[in-house]
Amino acid sequence: VLGTRLYSITFVFASILSPLTSVLEANERFDVSSVVAVIGQVISILLGMLLLWLGYGFLGLLCVGFVAMFVQIMVTLRAMHIYKLHHLPFRFAPGTWPTLIRASLPFGLTTLALTLNFRKLDGTMPHIVSFLVCRFRWRFFNCHDAFDCQ
């Protein structure tokens, strides 16, 4: 029960970390977001091995997630400060949501195809979804090829 509670709390850290790394990626700082991901993985592996070696077991591994995500959040906040990305305006505009959903639907379909492909449901599913994505882009954005849409 304690393990489930600890693991559930990591979602709070992830809900903080994900938007922060999205800000970096939206400003094309993929190098920094990659470094943040690598830092999290290195901390998880090294600290996890240490805590397992010391005998802390499964609960120790769950605590490693807290440490790794906390460090990732701090590094991301520092990078946002260095690159002056911390003064972002917040705008709540529900009127833009239908356009955003329409524009993001091809990415959602691609993710669905990859999920189905990784689960080995059907090897042809990604091709079908890719075809549908191309048709969707042409229909809703009047694109003549993949590079025509902005």
Residues 103-146 have pLDDT tens digits of: 888 887 887 777 766 655 555 555 666 666 666 555 555 555 44
Q: Is the separation of the CB atoms in 129 and 112 below 8 Å?
A: yes
Do 129 and 113 form a contact (C-beta atoms < 8 A)? yes
pTM of the entire structure? 0.60
pLDDT of residue 42: 94
pLDDT of amino acid 36: 93
pLDDT at residue 70, as a whole number = 95
pLDDT at 126: 57
- Express each pLDDT in 16-59 by its tens digit: 898 888 888 888 888 898 999 999 999 999 999 999 999 888 88
DSSP-assigned states of every residue in 107-122: HHHHHHHHHHHHTTS-
- Residue 150 in contact with residue 144, Cβ under 8 Å? no
> Positive or negative CA dihedral for 106, 134, 30, 39?
positive
